[in-house]
Structure 1
Amino acid sequence: MTAGEEDIGQALARYAREAGRGDLMLAAQGDPAMAHRWEAMFGAIASAARGGFAGLQARADQQVVDLGMAFRLTGEVEERVWPLSPVPMLIHATQWQGIEAGLAQRADLLEHVLDDLYGACSLVASGELPAAIVAGAPDYWRQMRGLPPPRGHRLQFYAVDLARGPDGEWRVLADYVRTPVGAGYALENRLAMTRATDDALGIVNFVRLAPFFSDFRQGLAAICARPDPRIALLTQGRYNQSYAEQAHLARYLGILLVEGQDLTVRDGQLYVRTVEGVKRVDGLWRRMGTDLLDPLAFDSRSTIGVPDIFEAMRHGGLVIANWPGAGVLETPALAAFLPRLCRKLLGEPLRIPNVATWWCGQAKERAHVREQADRLAIGSAFGLPVPAIPHGRARLASRLSPAENAAFLTELEQRPMDYIGQELVQLSTTPALVDGVLLPRPFILRAFLARDAHGQWRAMPGGFARLAAHDDMRAVLMGQGDMSADVCIVADEPQTAVVTLDSGAPVAIRRVAGTLPSKAADNFFWLARYLERGEMVLRMIRVLIGGSIEGEAASALDRPTLGRVADTLVAWGSARKDKLGEGTGKLCVHALSDPEMPGSVQSLFEAAEAIGRGLRERLAVDFWRLLSRQIDRVSEARESQLMAHVARLLDRCAALSGLSAENMVRGAGWRFLELGRRLERAIHLCRLARTFAGDDANGHDLNLFLDLCDCQISYRTRYLSGLALAPVRDMLLLEPGNPRSLAFQVDAILDHLRALPTLRDDGMPEPPVQLALALSARLHAASAEMLTARDLEVIETALLDLSDRIDDRFFLKGEDAPRASGMTRLA
């Protein structure tokens, strides 16, 4: 029976026969209310009227694409689509309360351990914690000893992997405090599922996630020194494994997404380089390891950190979550001592136990691991590669080859402190939709806690589940073939979306779009230039294959004119010179899809997408969805296929332009997008005018020039007598009211530059404005009859110089980034 023929009742009955002991859904059969919720959920999201399981999967897959949910496997460059099983896990709120309490206790314990390790070190001195555990931990940084965080908490955000055994007991597999990953994916999973099911999940009364993120944001703000702080999420960059998640979190929380090169430290204070000069940063949520954070204080090999950020911490004006050095808690061997430390520090046992762990640096524990190895997983005590475990990840001892086992035993005797043994945990299963079929999959639940404005721990009501496709369940995020699932905490009463009002001091009204880092401005500028360049190449290809706004006008162009179009494509790096003799169709195929040509449509759009990744937190979802959509490569020179392909891509360009025109706030980001578009269009007009509107231009050349600039109809409406050189030049180069003219582009550039912030306090124009003023005056004083090719070359050179001036002024780099005269350090 195929998946399409199997209804919900049949699927659930088959699932009950196949699932083993301890399955999460089957365990709910002992609670009639929870059993009813599972059945009601399937009926709501996968009914026959909604297309069954196939329809559910298709809708979920589409939402994943539309939301731009993606990740990378370690070592890969290209992003993968986030793998979402559209069957949520359901956990009752009463059971979740017990888990919350256990996780809050564990977070408090870890905070106490950190305080001691970077303070009195009494745990080591008393023998409760072996000194080798601390000394061998790769993320224990002596520089952080005696350096408490500004408001007393080293941990602000905490993630933990939980395993549920067949008996229903939960255990902690791993703690994540260094750079906790996954909260954004949990949020995106919920958003995708809500959209894919038209909010039908509301039937199970799931608890919403928004209050958790609000509490976290308020918690970060509360520990900053200013009442209205500037907070940023520090990322390793767009090639980080979870960059897409970081961009989503920054956009959702309304905080800056920055890289190390966006930041600078001056006089003990952290600043972000912006188009308005440098602006103070009060808090960082870091997604960068301590070793990479400051090459002057930690690892000198780091090229992505912020020099002297350690000094900013020492001065006490910078909050970092989590406090550097917290990663020592992720040392695998430390888990062996947490049960004892909990009784000592908190006076009570762990409410959620660890997976039993034995550190081989102790004789008794080493003997146990040696004797019981076949029943254990063996791992690196400090998470680093060791001879018996070259990848640093735990392995099942029973699966070692004889040679590997002998090497392990030898290593265990020579360097026992490098190894741990851990009990094997049999994982519960949960329903997952795999190729349209409901199957039981083992899972690990990643849960999240954050401190609120009062410093209290708040747990996300849910998280995300990683559904295993293999035995290795200890990947930081996703392994090959794994899937994820939304985790819904369900209550007895219906839940409604609650938007809370700020009950504190009155909020000052603002009409600015927010701080624009210099790198983001740079990205907006070049994103528009690549898109504009790609659009113009598409227009030239359309002309070559006979397409035109004016019906058959392009097809009537003479061979020399079309030859000049082809030569222009070669000159712009869109096609190879050796393709000129292979026919128009072949040339167009290469100009569209040749990945080795930097000016091909394929290369230009891929470059635009790459730049857009660095702006993901600032781009609307619809804009990013269009920008990141894969472009099909054309291999055949059939005219109809080429024309359809070009038309689709031109429609995409029009849609992107419309979204930016209608949806973007008229802030600095929009202005740099417009600056890039206008500057690139102006440069194209200079080049096209020299080629197709020179003194020797014929009617075919002028007709083509009008067509490329979308001015055919306007010209014919105004000039009934036919084509003439001076009127065409005037319309496309000098008419200030024509949005496709050179003068219009220069005037628009000048308007945008004048609207951007200035660093001068004497009222004098900055260099980019001065150059734009000169260009505008030159064009307004020119006449179509007197405009020469040399004039156009001078104007083009000035436009290229203007691009450099904009770069020098706004895309601030290095320690020489300018600061506004008299600028306050608290700005």
Structure 2
Amino acid sequence: MQGDMMAELPGMPSLGEGWLHSYIAKAGTADALRGDVGRGAKWWHGLFEGVARLSEGRLDLLQQRMARQVQELGTAFRLPGEERERPWPVSAMPLLIGEDDFAIIAAGVAQRAELLELLLDDIFGDQKLVSSGGLPAALITGSRAYWRSQIGVPPPGGHRLHIYAVDLCRDPGGDWRVLDDHVRAPVGAGYALENRLASTRLMGALQTRLHVERLAPFFSAFREGLAAACRRSEPRIGLLTPGRYNQSYAEQAHLARYLGLLLVEGSDLAVRDDGLFVRTIEGLKRVDALWRRIDSRLLDPLAFDSNSAIGVPGLMDAMAAGQAVIANAPGAGVVESTAMGAFLPSLARRLIGEDLKLPNIATWWCGQEKPRAEVEARLDELLIAPAFTDAPVGLPRGRPVLAATLSGAERAALLADMARRPEDYVAQEDVHLSTTPAVQDGQLVPRPFTVRVFAARDGQGQWTVMPGGFARIGDDSDARATVMGDGAFSADVCVVGSRTVEPVSLLPQKVPIRRNPGTLPSRAADNLYWLGRYLERGEATLRLVRATLGGSIVADGGAALFPLTLDRLGTMLVASGAAAQDRDEHADEEEPDEDAGETHDLRELALLALDGQGAASVASLMRNARSIASGTRDRLSADVWRLVDAPLPRATSDDAEATLARAIDLQERFSALAGLSAENMGRTAGWRFQDMGRRIERALWTSRLVRIFGGKDASADDLTTLLDLCDSQISYRARYLAGLALEPVRDLVALDPYNPRSVAYQAERISEHLKALPALRDDFMAEPHVTIFYRIEAAIRTASAETLDGTMMLGIENMLSELSNAISARFFLQGSEGYRMAGMTLA
């Protein structure tokens, strides 16, 4: 508030101007902002003024708001070896690049991408560069990414590269230079998009006033480029992921959702007759292109590494036959090696007749005698790095190191191995980076940065460059690239222009209307089905916990439940697997009888049901639900994922009231998840499997409850508990004024098709789902899972409350379990073979 008042006084600088001048005073001459302002650029002035208004003069609040936006978007990453993901770190202060400056970057990136394409064509084609001496053979064969089997294999669509990324730095003189090329499976386009989404939510109209270029046209062009490389006019394109434990899986899921691609793992795919197919609930469906995010070595165990468990056997046959476009083509990573940078300037002049518009940082490959001699003479000035991905003996950690920082023994070991295997080493100049404003501890400070920029082929096969990217920001004021490493956090990179940017979206203006929701892979159906079952089972466990503790606490003067009813609740907690207890090694090995009362410590059982290791404890079920949901991230909303991923509330006390309060809080979370599923999910096949899982699980639990609490000897407490557990107290009291009676309670919770908690209601919903799901038979005969359901339906329709005994309910339970197994066998992945009926057409 004080800053706003000062800004209104005549002759006084605004808060934003004050921040700007203060920052310039502390920034070095190599700072991006200082250099732009020195050339007369005005965009930083606009940014600082806008940030001052948004932050109300408090930059720490601005950073907190950015963190909240990242959390709401679900942007995350995972470190190797960690189970849980971490929030993606984003600076609230974007990096601004003027349109004229970025035009130079874009031209250089497109030129470089085309150069690498031509280089790959020669390496896996005529190999004229090697035969003429323009490229040392050891530079190719020394790379793990080189695959001899790809020689002479033309890429479908005519291009080996479809997407390319390059790491750039801005040197102290203001010139942009290349640090690294990324062509195998470039990572980060999704993070650039998510950074922009978070920044847009935070900055709002400020980005419009700054005329920030939009990213959507780049992604649209990339999607059109992949489609143009395929043979079919409406191709099916997948994003091939290593799986949910990959470090950047969250980014991959977001990209697949944004671009409308199938997110598939190797086990989802199969090759038949040189064609690539995805296993879906409708059988095998044709896949025309894959954007791969796994290493070439793991792509096809028949062509590359036979130990790969995440690849697709026969994928290279499909590619060689021209039936599957792979972006980027296997072997592309051979041009990624650090050593290749030493030759790219001369290769550019030879292959495209031009000098590089974006020069490399100076690089010497030690595999040639003259460069090695120069490196040894200037050793203390240079950075020594592995030439390829493998760590040489002289650099045991596999990371670049400043030779001047080595001990005498380390230096001797390095020189000895360089003499023995010089081709394993490169030397590079120690690059100093420009700085950019970053928010740290509520203050604007200059921090070093690098930028990753992306290029992709469009529908005409030309390179288009993303107008932006993402910046890595160091958390130390030391501006050397070796010190910064991968950076501490990221920032949105905004290209600002002089003209208003027209609103655009990912979709073209004219799109044919369709209501087909698309293909549902079998793995996704499997995940959604079991997500529904685990969430419903968790809610049922919480109802048991609440009934157990609520019945044993005199909270409102009412009497506690009869001991036999409480023992049945405790026995059910144990028998269901929710409260797994350590059994004495000499104890009877028989399973507890669900119908017989046993003496239990109910408070202990409730705690185990919430936090224990039992298969049906809430903690175990939520772990399973989180694991499944993470593998289906592309089909879940950010709200659903946030609720599933949220940590469970910690126990502050082990007394009954505190445990009951936790159970109530958790049940509210489960109710929210059920509400999101019911109201927000489109009525697609994916929703049907998720809801069918819920319905089968609810029918199983209700059948079990009727069997245990609705027997012929049921007491009033048993019937009260049964109505509570089935959330049917209000319905019963509104319908029957005479009080509790066994047969009306049985009818309401088991046979009433109008009660959403009854077994009959679940059966009707299951019937609707099964009718809507695809059939593979064309002879109009019922498939096995449908036949099983007919038996369940008949048993429920012909039952009456008078004859509904434990034996009948147990039979319905068994048939429901049989139905679940049959659904799994029909629709989900079973081993390595896709489900295929005789005469089925592969589409």
Common fold: TM-score over 0.5: yes
Tell me whether 1:633 sits opposite 2:650 in the alignment. Answer: yes
Tell me what 1:617 maps to: 634
Tell me whether 1:100 sits opposite 2:100 in the alignment. Answer: no
- 1:602-637 deviations in Å (ceiling 9; x for gaps): 221121111001111111222222222222221412
Tell me what 2:139 maps to: 133
Tell me what 1:603 maps to: 620
Tell me what 1:155 maps to: 161
Distance in 2, matches of 1:716 and 1:230, equals 55
Q: 1:804 aligns with which of 821, 832, 835?
A: 821
Distance 1:547 1:404, change over 3 A: farther
Distance in 1, matches of 2:786 and 2:480, equals 57
Distance 1:592 1:50, change over 3 A: farther
Distance 1:807 1:697, change over 3 A: same
Tell me whether 1:511 sits opposite 2:515 in the alignment. Answer: yes
Distance 1:203 1:69, change over 3 A: same
Aligned 1:438-587 pairs, distance under 5 A:
438-469=444-475, 482-499=488-505, 502=508, 508-546=512-550, 556-577=560-581, 583-587=601-605
Tell me what 1:270 maps to: 276
Tell me what 1:783 maps to: 800
Q: What residue identity is the alignment partner of 2:840? A: M
* Deviation, structure 1 residue 547: 7.8
Q: 2:733 aligns with which of 716, 719, 743?
A: 716
Distance in 1, matches of 2:512 and 2:66, equals 40
Q: What residue identity is the alignment partner of 2:404? A: S
Tell me what 1:294 maps to: 300
Larger mean CA deviation between 277-286 and 730-739 belongs to: 730-739
* Deviation, structure 1 residue 49: 6.2
Q: What residue identity is the alignment partner of 2:534? A: Y
- 1:491-530 deviations in Å (ceiling 9; x for gaps): 1012232248747xx8654222110000000000000111
Tell me what 2:38 maps to: 30
- 1:554-590 deviations in Å (ceiling 9; x for gaps): 8642233223222222222222436998954443333
Structure 1 length-normalised TM? 0.95
Distance in 2, matches of 1:64 and 1:554, equals 48
* Deviation, structure 1 residue 392: 2.5
* Deviation, structure 1 residue 818: 2.1
Distance in 2, matches of 1:185 and 1:450, equals 16
Q: What residue identity is the alignment partner of 1:246? A: Q
Larger mean CA deviation between 575-584 and 105-114 belongs to: 575-584
Aligned 1:196-211 pairs, distance under 5 A:
196-211=202-217
* Deviation, structure 1 residue 480: 7.7
Tell me what 2:607 maps to: 589
Distance in 1, matches of 2:453 and 2:480, equals 15
Larger mean CA deviation between 807-816 and 229-238 belongs to: 807-816
Q: What residue identity is the alignment partner of 1:523? A: N
* Deviation, structure 1 residue 724: 1.1
Distance in 1, matches of 2:48 and 2:582, equals 60
Distance 1:49 1:120, change over 3 A: closer
Contact 2:708 2:806 in 1 (8 A): no
Distance 1:571 1:85, change over 3 A: same
Q: What residue identity is the alignment partner of 2:518? A: G
Larger mean CA deviation between 9-18 and 681-690 belongs to: 9-18
Q: What residue identity is the alignment partner of 1:589? A: L
Partner SS for 1:133:
helix
* Deviation, structure 1 residue 111: 0.6
Contact 1:178 1:322 in 2 (8 A): yes
Distance in 1, matches of 2:438 and 2:562, equals 62
* Deviation, structure 1 residue 21: 2.2
Aligned 1:322-337 pairs, distance under 5 A:
322-337=328-343
Contact 1:373 1:397 in 2 (8 A): yes
Partner SS for 1:55:
helix
Distance in 2, matches of 1:730 and 1:553, equals 31
Tell me what 2:50 maps to: 44
- 1:625-657 deviations in Å (ceiling 9; x for gaps): 222222222141245543443232222222211
Tell me whether 1:172 sits opposite 2:178 in the alignment. Answer: yes
Tell me what 1:281 maps to: 287
Q: 2:220 aligns with which of 202, 211, 214?
A: 214
Distance in 1, matches of 2:357 and 2:450, equals 18
* Deviation, structure 1 residue 435: 3.0
Contact 2:270 2:834 in 1 (8 A): no
* Deviation, structure 1 residue 26: 1.3
Distance 1:480 1:49, change over 3 A: closer
Distance in 1, matches of 2:732 and 2:497, equals 67
Tell me what 2:28 maps to: 20
Q: What residue identity is the alignment partner of 1:540? A: L
Tell me what 1:675 maps to: 692
Aligned 1:190-269 pairs, distance under 5 A:
190-269=196-275
Tell me whether 1:320 sits opposite 2:338 in the alignment. Answer: no
Distance in 2, matches of 1:582 and 1:813, equals 41
Q: What residue identity is the alignment partner of 2:496? A: V
Structure 2 length-normalised TM? 0.93
Contact 1:156 1:220 in 2 (8 A): yes
Partner SS for 1:273:
strand
Partner SS for 2:822:
helix
Larger mean CA deviation between 235-244 and 783-792 belongs to: 783-792
* Deviation, structure 1 residue 241: 1.0
Partner SS for 2:391:
coil
Larger mean CA deviation between 512-521 and 623-632 belongs to: 623-632
Q: What residue identity is the alignment partner of 1:818? A: Y
Distance 1:547 1:196, change over 3 A: farther
Contact 2:241 2:249 in 1 (8 A): yes
Tell me whether 1:704 sits opposite 2:721 in the alignment. Answer: yes
Distance in 1, matches of 2:685 and 2:838, equals 20
Partner SS for 2:158:
coil
Distance 1:756 1:39, change over 3 A: same
Contact 1:546 1:552 in 2 (8 A): no
Q: 2:778 aligns with which of 744, 761, 765?
A: 761
Distance 1:678 1:786, change over 3 A: same
* Deviation, structure 1 residue 11: 4.3
Distance in 2, matches of 1:46 and 1:555, equals 62
Aligned residues: 818
Tell me what 2:411 maps to: 405
Tell me whether 1:646 sits opposite 2:654 in the alignment. Answer: no
- 1:656-713 deviations in Å (ceiling 9; x for gaps): 1121112211111000001100011111112212221122210111101101111000
Partner SS for 2:500:
coil
The percent of aligned pairs where both chains have the same amino acid is 52
Distance in 2, matches of 1:139 and 1:82, equals 29
Q: What residue identity is the alignment partner of 2:439? A: L
Distance in 2, matches of 1:547 and 1:609, equals 31
Partner SS for 1:533:
helix
Tell me what 1:414 maps to: 420
